[in-house]
A = this chain, B = another copy of it.
């Protein structure tokens, strides 16, 4: 998971891209990068860690130019600590291109071989983003014809990218001195939204300003009006003078957005594919309430509690629907630090207790229903149940706003391997025992889909980790085994 943003404006964009990255920080905190195009020269700063700590005044002073893009990264492949994996990636021929990317390519093995042996392009990392920018560069190179770059050349190159590349990708690129390009994979798995600030907001300016970003709140919070999502397969090209070009570049585009954005990735104040994330979470609570009512003796439950922050809307709605008291018995520690390795001391286990604290007064002697957004490894859930019991809870029912996670996720969210998924190959009562809950209630798969898409024009969702269906062609058992063998542990 990552967050990306690109801006083409009539004024310096360094602070604006920086502000946008802060608003995307929840999508990745491993590294960040910011690049500006200053009349054909790129200025780039990349650093580990969070945005707030990454950019210093002297960095910002170098980031000149009125076109720019930025990235926050949550490691999905490769080592989280590696600076060599930090985005954006740069290639200097043709034209000079920088690119940022949210998603995950699934035919990386084939692409790597082709680039090395056929295209003779050098890959200096294991990043699939470096693959993506090199494929794009190669296809732009093959459009070279002596004349200047036209929007159609760009769209042709994106068309070729869609043909060569498989997986999920929402990408933003700068072509030095020529413009800003944004495009989205033919299934629109990862989000990308287009915003505009019209010329009349800007004194003395004759052009519109444009922003593309992973989430709509970024546009709104920075005074941009949401135009619409970039369509699956579509490419947007904005010239340095603010002219917008759009083209559908995929043969058979079909919108299948990632369900996880609604469950916990996206900010509740974003709207994706026309669906308000906050409202989707309320509806997940509604549906979950019905399932809970079916499986649990409601008279038994004294209080409903969310795991802050992502399950709060679902839990609140569920409590209201069931008429049970809602209390926030878990308090989230906002300031999480490090465990220092001291000579001669043993390494301390990282624990949920560093992230959450339980209020004794809310738990003592009560039967609690804890609502979380999902259960993945199960280790966190087990610790939460333990904390509730240690705080004095009598009986603990655990409810998940998402169905059991049983399959790997290969489209840009870092998921454990199958054997680490607590629900893979297990029945629900077994999982309940595993996490120590008296009772465990999952959202139904259909309920999740319906809750999310209700009231929208979306008809399908990427839900592979729940149902094992992978929309891109080549995700098979061989691939999944390779992914698991090469994954972050």
- A interface residues (Cβ-Cβ under 8 A, vs B): 12, 14-15, 18-19, 22-23, 25-26, 40-43, 50-53, 55, 57, 60-62, 83-84, 90-97, 119-125, 134, 137, 141, 144, 176, 217, 220-221, 267-269, 271, 276, 278-279, 312-313, 316, 320, 326, 328, 331, 333-343, 345, 348, 353-354, 357-362
Q: Which residues of B contact A15 (CB under 8 A)?
A: 339-340, 342, 348
Residue of B nearest to A175 (CB): B122
Instruction: Supply 13 further A-B pairs (C-beta < 8 A) apart from A93-B120, A96-B124, A278-B362.
Output: A23-B333, A25-B334, A53-B53, A60-B340, A61-B340, A62-B84, A92-B123, A92-B124, A93-B121, A96-B122, A120-B144, A122-B176, A217-B331
Q: Which residues of B contact A19 (CB under 8 A)?
A: 337, 354
With A52-B336, A326-B316 known as contacts, the answer to whether A120 contacts B95 (CB < 8 A) is: yes
A62 to B96 Cα, complex, angstroms:
26
> Across chains A and B, which 8 residue pairs bring their CB atoms closest together, nearest first?
A96-B122, A25-B335, A94-B120, A60-B340, A269-B331, A269-B359, A92-B122, A22-B337
Residue among A276, A337, A343 having the largest count of chain B Cβ atoms under 10 Å: A337
Residue among A23, A120, A268 having the largest count of chain B Cβ atoms under 10 Å: A120
Residue of B nearest to A226 (CB): B360
Q: Evaluate contact between B328 and A51: CB separation under 8 angstroms.
A: no
Q: Evaluate contact between A333 and B93: CB separation under 8 angstroms.
A: no
With A331-B268, A337-B52, A359-B278 known as contacts, the answer to whether A93 contacts B95 (CB < 8 A) is: no
Q: Evaluate contact between A313 and B340: CB separation under 8 angstroms.
A: no
With A313-B328, A361-B271 known as contacts, the answer to whether A335 contacts B12 (CB < 8 A) is: no
With A57-B341, A341-B57 known as contacts, the answer to whether A335 contacts B120 (CB < 8 A) is: no
With A93-B93, A268-B359 known as contacts, the answer to whether A334 contacts B26 (CB < 8 A) is: yes
Q: Evaluate contact between B12 and A361: CB separation under 8 angstroms.
A: no
A294 to B124 Cα, complex, angstroms:
64
A41 to B141 Cα, complex, angstroms:
23
Q: Evaluate contact between A331 and B267: CB separation under 8 angstroms.
A: yes
**Of B92, B271, B326, the contact of A121 (CB 8 Å cutoff):** B92
Q: Which residues of B contact A316 (CB under 8 A)?
A: 326
A316 to B55 Cα, complex, angstroms:
38
Residue of B nearest to A59 (CB): B340
Q: Which residues of B contact A276 (CB under 8 A)?
A: 359, 361
Q: Evaluate contact between A343 and B61: CB separation under 8 angstroms.
A: yes
How far does the Cβ of A321 sit from chain B's closest Cβ, in whole Å? 12
Residue of B nearest to A134 (CB): B92
Q: Which residues of B contact A12 (CB under 8 A)?
A: 342, 345
Q: Which residues of B contact A331 (CB under 8 A)?
A: 217, 267-269
A99 to B424 Cα, complex, angstroms:
51
Residue of B nearest to A43 (CB): B84
Residue of B nearest to A116 (CB): B40
Q: Which residues of B contact A334 (CB under 8 A)?
A: 25-26, 334
A123 to B144 Cα, complex, angstroms:
17
Residue of B nearest to A29 (CB): B335
**Of B217, B313, B339, the contact of A357 (CB 8 Å cutoff):** B217
Residue among A267, A342, A354 having the largest count of chain B Cβ atoms under 10 Å: A342
How far does the Cβ of A351 sit from chain B's closest Cβ, in whole Å? 11
23 contacts between A and B (CB under 8 A): A12-B342, A12-B345, A14-B342, A18-B340, A22-B335, A23-B333, A25-B335, A41-B84, A52-B335, A52-B336, A52-B338, A62-B84, A92-B122, A92-B134, A93-B121, A96-B123, A120-B141, A221-B333, A221-B357, A267-B357, A278-B361, A279-B361, A334-B334
**Of B279, B342, B353, the contact of A60 (CB 8 Å cutoff):** B342
With A25-B334, A334-B25 known as contacts, the answer to whether A340 contacts B57 (CB < 8 A) is: yes
How far does the Cβ of A399 sit from chain B's closest Cβ, in whole Å? 19
A354 to B22 Cα, complex, angstroms:
10
Q: Which residues of B contact A353 (CB under 8 A)?
A: 221
Q: Evaluate contact between B14 and A340: CB separation under 8 angstroms.
A: yes
Q: Evaluate contact between B92 and A119: CB separation under 8 angstroms.
A: no
Residue of B nearest to A53 (CB): B53
A93 to B55 Cα, complex, angstroms:
30
Q: Which residues of B contact A342 (CB under 8 A)?
A: 12, 14-15, 60-61
